[in-house]
Amino acid sequence: MSDNHFEPVSGVDSAWLRLDRPTNLMVITAMAVVEPIPFNKLKELINARFLAFPRFRQKPVNHSGFYFWEEDPYFSLDYHVRKVALPQPADKGALEKFIGDLMSTPLDPGKPLWQVFLIENYGDHHVCVMRVHHCYADGLALVAVFGSLSDQSPNINPFPLDPGKQRDAGVRARQSFVMGMETLSRAVEKCTKLRYRIAEEGKSILREPGYAVEGVRQGLNGAAEIARLAALEADDPTPLRGELGVMKCCTWSELIPLHKFKEVAQAFGCSINDVLLSCVSGGLRRLLQERMDQVDGVRLHATLPVNLRPLETRLGREQLQELGNQFGTVFVPLAAGIGNPIERLYKIKHDMAALKESMQPSLSHALLTAMGLFPQGVQQPLLELFSNKTSMVLSNVPGARRARYLAGSQVKELMFWVPQTGDIGLGVSLLSYNQSVQIGINADRALLPEPAELTRAMIDSLEEYCSLTGMSWQAAETRSHRKA
């Protein structure tokens, strides 16, 4: 057997395998609406570039409670890349149902946990739908994978992948293995050699008093953050929470010019992210007002993934190429209980500024690692700490600023949907691409059978902000098209 057969799945990646349950599958789903692309070209592209990441030929296998990456000896590209047709009228509703049904269906654990579907009968365009289990990569890493699959120009011939790049991919895989082992070693050291480390750090304290001050400060901050997380009250009961079923549904908004968010942010002295979160909060408020008697003051939080890779450094960018999960989470207060849109926006700005100094991302990453390394009996209380405090998962991922091309075909729209852990039944995805923003919603069908109501409500909230700046919705759109 090769060494790949004994490569352990890292603790944090193992956690995503353990979090799988029939009512919440830990699978990231992505969609690209593209100009017509021949199926054979798509398969060649996947073979040349996607499979340049050796991980996608491997599957996680459970051995005595621990997961290891193993090469699939029967790997077949024909199984993983398929051509399908939507039922008539083959419109957006049919595509939403197709993707929602995929979200409700587990991936085959006997094979590498990913699939690609090409739909050829979606009007004048084709649609590529990809599913990848969260244990392989987080959303930001998958955006990087998309970057490696696509080009800045339609005139670049992506075939074949030269041998040098194949060797580079192998080097990345070996580096990933070494880093995984180092991570595992550090985790074991923390768990089994605590007294030794305390003794060693005691010597450092005697040598450098400043070391003690910094260590105590970080320890107190971490302990205080854990205490705050444990003491955080669960969200108020709303129609967004409830018993989950197996069937899921999804939708996505039309293209929204990024310029609209920039105009509002500039007018109110906020960031674009503040405006995005305020539109999400305003949309949730509108939705709840139709389903609840009292919305003012309602307490809602979202779980927001935060990247932990130092992307400004070469090492951080190399880590991104190695896939895996390198993110933590923060619990973001959503100001859906505030009726005044300006007050709502500034409340979010204040809360997000406070969270920038939070240790929540690092702590949550450590807890997820523990969830993957420790016995499964430890998993449930940790899972409850994450899932019982919030009502939704919210992911905001920056995409390419200019149009991308798959095997020469321009990508017109790009969207992804995030999985939810525990008893959370709602996910909201925000993705910027080619100077536009789209909002994606995926939800438990029993909780939100018509997710388009929520996307419409969020866009209504943005329209309200445009109106408050004195800029009409139509004028903002015209100006954006002129600058694009």
- Beta strands per DSSP E along 281-359: 300-307, 327-334
Q: From CA 332, how far away is CA 278, in angstroms rounded?
A: 11
How does DSSP classify residue 233?
P
Q: Which pTM was predicted? A: 0.82
Count of alpha carbons within 13 Å of 475, Cβ hemisphere only? 7
3 burial via Cβ count (<10 Å: 0-12, 13-18, 19+): exposed
Closest CA to 126 of 235, 71, 45, 61: 45
CATH code, domain with 26: 3.30.559.10
Closest CA to 91 of 255, 251, 256: 251
Question: What's the structural domain count of the chain?
Answer: 1
Does 82 fall in a domain? Answer: yes
Does 269 fall in a domain? Answer: no
Does 418 fall in a domain? Answer: no
Q: From CA 6, how far away is CA 22, in angstroms rounded?
A: 28
Could you write out the DSSP letters of every residue in 145-161? Answer: HHHHH-BSSTT----SP
How does DSSP classify residue 51?
G
Does 152 fall in a domain? Answer: yes
Does 433 fall in a domain? Answer: no
Reported for 385-388, long-range contacts at CB under 8 A and 24+ positions apart, including other chains, are: 385/229, 385/230, 386/303, 386/329, 386/421, 386/422, 387/420, 387/421, 387/422, 387/423, 387/424, 388/234, 388/422, 388/423
Q: From CA 225, how far away is CA 385, in angstroms rounded?
A: 13
Integer CA distances (angstroms), 189 to 185, 204, 392, in order = 6, 18, 35
Q: From CA 3, how far away is CA 20, in angstroms rounded?
A: 27
Q: Residue 90 corresponds to which tokens in the numbers above?
A: 């083959």
Does 104 fall in a domain? Answer: yes
- pLDDT of 263 reads 94
Single-letter amino acid code for the residue at 223:
A
One digit per residue, the tens of pLDDT, for the chain of length 484 reads: 444 457 899 888 998 998 899 999 999 999 999 999 999 999 999 999 999 999 999 999 998 888 999 999 999 999 999 999 999 999 999 999 999 999 999 999 999 999 999 999 999 999 999 999 999 998 888 888 888 899 888 876 655 444 444 445 444 433 433 333 333 333 333 333 322 232 333 334 344 444 434 433 444 455 565 556 655 778 899 999 999 999 999 999 999 999 999 999 999 999 999 999 999 999 999 999 999 989 999 999 999 988 887 666 665 566 667 788 888 888 899 999 999 999 999 999 999 998 877 777 777 777 777 777 777 666 666 666 666 788 999 998 888 889 999 999 999 999 999 999 888 999 999 999 999 999 999 999 999 999 999 999 999 999 999 999 887 666 445 444 434 3
Note down the domain range covering 123: 3-159
Q: Residue 14 corresponds to which tokens in the numbers above?
A: 């193992």
Q: From CA 436, how far away is CA 257, in angstroms rounded?
A: 4
Does 272 fall in a domain? Answer: no
**Residue 430: strand pairing partners:** 396, 439
Does 329 fall in a domain? Answer: no
Say whether 299 sits in a helix, a strand or coil.
coil
Say whether 257 sits in a helix, a strand or coil.
strand
